A and B are shown apart, each in its own frame.
Chain A
Amino acid sequence: QTADPLITEVQDYASGFGDPVDAAPYGTPISHEAHVVRRNVEWLTESPVSSINFTPIHALEGTITPQGCAFERHHSGAIDMTKQDYRLMINGLVDRPLVFTFEDLMRFPRHITTAFCECAANGGMEWGGAQLEGCQFTQGMIHNMEYTGVMLRDLLAEAGVQTAGKWVYVEGHDASSNGRSIPLEKALDDVMVAFFANGEALRKEHGYPVRLVVPGWEGNMWVKWIRRIAVYDQAVEGREETSKYTDLMPDGRARKWTWVMDAKSVITSPSPQAPIRHGAGPLVITGLAWSGNGRVTRVDVSTDGGNTWAPARISGDAKSKALTRFHHDMNWDGSEMFILSRAVDETGYVQPTKQALRDIRGTNNVYHNNAIQVWWVRADGEVENVEIA
């Protein structure tokens, strides 16, 4: 071992100046993290304005997703809207059809909630078999933010929902409008009309200035740039809730209104984009777990393909309907492993294997794949996405 010049020699940064305080009034990540970005898969869609990209979850830690790398899904592109031009209408089966400005919304009682937003199609490419190399692509249609906003129930109370009203329909200002029907019970429970995420204004791509937050339910319902909330006695059955976001079953019929995202987890490192580079010895396995039905109470990890399991540590608070971080500290002997994680939520639901889901749903499904992910760790530390039997 020779002396490390980084230690023995005075470095420029230890002698001269760093950046002044006016270098970056609203900062961006340091250039050395330039690989930590959202990525898309071009062959998935015909047009990038009606498409999706993926959160680099393999490179993030903790539970909060920075807005700047949180996955985006648009149906007609991210629109540029000002707070001055923003209007929100409530109509339908209400006593007082109303129009709110952004300033009006800021005068309702404010609340904070942390919630994961997962696209119903997260993992959809994996139904037929292992396809994509990396959890960014296989589980990265997810983000988790701390939102500040007003409760939808308070806005509805302002308009006065009539007794005939059973459904709330929410649509956006963008050209797709992406309307979705939500049963009144959920709308009056924990649905939020949000302006801030992670302490800052919503970014453009996340619905600036106002989006819907629907904790635990599929991301398509989290309407961005919301312009209208309508109360009806029935579901609108729009395009996104009939032709899309329904689950085709083996008998040729389809499940609809499959709103809840069931319990799921994934090891984010090691993973194909985050191989082991340090060789045998102490190894930190880290990952994410979540459930649309409540709190994650336990995550088990297996390193032998699911023959034996051990409980991982849940790090930090496990919040209901929010991403939960787990860690599993082990001593790697340098041999091949099949590593898996398995989430359990407060209802007692245990994340199933892909085969268990296929046995019920077949392989014509696109959505709601919450199966256990298998990573094959090779002796050289490289990691592959595989299926095993």
Chain B
Amino acid sequence: MPANPLGLGRAALSEEIDAWDVAVLPDGTGLPVGSGDVETGDEVFAANCASCHGDFAEGLDSWPVLAGGDNSLTDPRPVKTVGSYWPYLSTVFDYVHRSMPFGSAQTLTPDDTYAITAFLLYSNGIVEDDFVLTNENFTSIVMPNADGFYPDDRAQTEYPLFTGEPCMENCLPGTPQVTKRAIDLKVTPTDADGKPAGTLPVLSDAPAIPAVVQVAADEAPAVPEPVAEAAPVAEAPAESAPVETAAADPALIAAGATVFKKCSSCHKVGEGAKNAVGPTLNGIVGHDAGTVEGFKYSNPLLAMAEAGLVWDEANLNAFLENPRSFMKGTRMAFAGLKSEDERSAVIAYLASLGG
């Protein structure tokens, strides 16, 4: 390679490299100095991880299960966990430190991360409860499935079988019969008529004239989505929302519906919504905190609710701006909405939802 052929870019500063290069490799390259014990890890895990992964790393709903699954890899339903599947401990540290908690990545300190990693080792029966993980002893840990992987061998084991002139005639011993039908499972998303979602519309049987009139009349703008999103808003009883600005601005509500997608992985809204990682939020604006039936709130939230916290616009705004600052110890693993526009939009959207 020619040396510095174009002279583009500038030297990366060491503090910049330190900020971005957080990769930890199997041989320990990249490990920061630090340590954490199982007991601390249990607490840090409960505060930051358990809302999805469960108190014992067992995985709530369909969120990943992180512990158990020993000797299950040949079962019809293998359970692939940190203990049963992951070959390197470095992967746990690297991933937790850079990408977790989900929705609030890069907020865990190295010591938090050592502690969580130690707790996961304990949860998987790899260490005892008095274990302390440090950058010094890190590479001494051998994961149970360390030898469970081998590099791609398709070129040796498969390609010879699948290469050559294929059969063109009389290839089957008999007449083929149907052995499985996808239609029996009923797991495909469907359109209103029960057909698989996205099925091409009928053209020749459709009355041609009304279709043409619709085009010529030019009454409907060519964007059906906002109409569909706005529909439930229009039906929502605005009087149940005590916020004066609510339902006033359909554009703001529509913008809020978009912002809410950031929340929707944990919070469900609308008819039939159930509690998930977070409580349902129908009617939340103006409502007393901590009162959604069947939801197990964190202690800090219950304490503030006891003290009279009401989710009025101001409190919601402050909470959403910086959840951990507004409510120290909250389980909501979400970094917050820095944009005031986004906060007011999502609050308007929530206010538009009935209780």
Q: Is B11 an interface residue (CB 8 A)?
A: yes
Residues on the B chain within 8 Å of A277, using CB:
202-205
Q: Is A307 an interface residue (CB 8 A)?
A: yes
Inter-subunit contact B152/A132 (CB<8 Å): no
Q: Is B171 an interface residue (CB 8 A)?
A: yes
Complex CA gap A384/B341 in Å reads 47
Inter-subunit contact B163/A234 (CB<8 Å): no
Inter-subunit contact B182/A28 (CB<8 Å): no
Q: Is B91 an interface residue (CB 8 A)?
A: yes
Decide: A158 near B27, CB < 8 A? Known: A176-B105, A389-B179. no
Complex CA gap A363/B163 in Å reads 23
Inter-subunit contact B26/A237 (CB<8 Å): yes
Complex CA gap A111/B353 in Å reads 50
Inter-subunit contact B91/A242 (CB<8 Å): yes
Q: Is B169 an interface residue (CB 8 A)?
A: yes
Chain B min CB distance to A81 (Å): 15
Residues on the B chain within 8 Å of A239, using CB:
91, 94-95, 99
Which residues of A, 79-119, contact B by the 8 Å Cβ criterion?
89-92, 95-101, 104, 107-108
Decide: A255 near B152, CB < 8 A? Known: A45-B62, A348-B164. yes
Residues on the B chain within 8 Å of A164, using CB:
none
A/B pair count, beta carbons within 8 Å: 319
Q: Is B328 an interface residue (CB 8 A)?
A: no
Complex CA gap A333/B159 in Å reads 37
Decide: A130 near B181, CB < 8 A? Known: A28-B222, A228-B21, A360-B157. yes
Residues on the B chain within 8 Å of A284, using CB:
none
Which residues of B, 1-25, contact A by the 8 Å Cβ criterion?
1-6, 8-12, 16-17, 20-21, 23, 25
Residues of A within 8 A of B (CB): 5-6, 11-13, 16, 28, 30-31, 34-37, 39-43, 45-50, 56, 58-59, 75-77, 89-92, 95-101, 104, 107-108, 129-134, 136-137, 156-158, 160-161, 169, 171, 175-177, 179, 227-228, 230, 232, 234, 236-239, 242-243, 246, 248, 250-260, 262, 272-275, 277-278, 300, 304-310, 338, 342, 344, 347-352, 356, 360, 363-364, 376, 384-389
- Sorted nearest first, the 9 A-B pairs with minimum C-beta distance are A47-B265, A12-B216, A305-B176, A175-B105, A252-B73, A385-B182, A31-B222, A97-B12, A98-B9
**What are 7 A-B contacts defined by CB distance under 8 Å?**
A13-B215, A36-B198, A58-B200, A179-B23, A239-B94, A348-B164, A364-B73
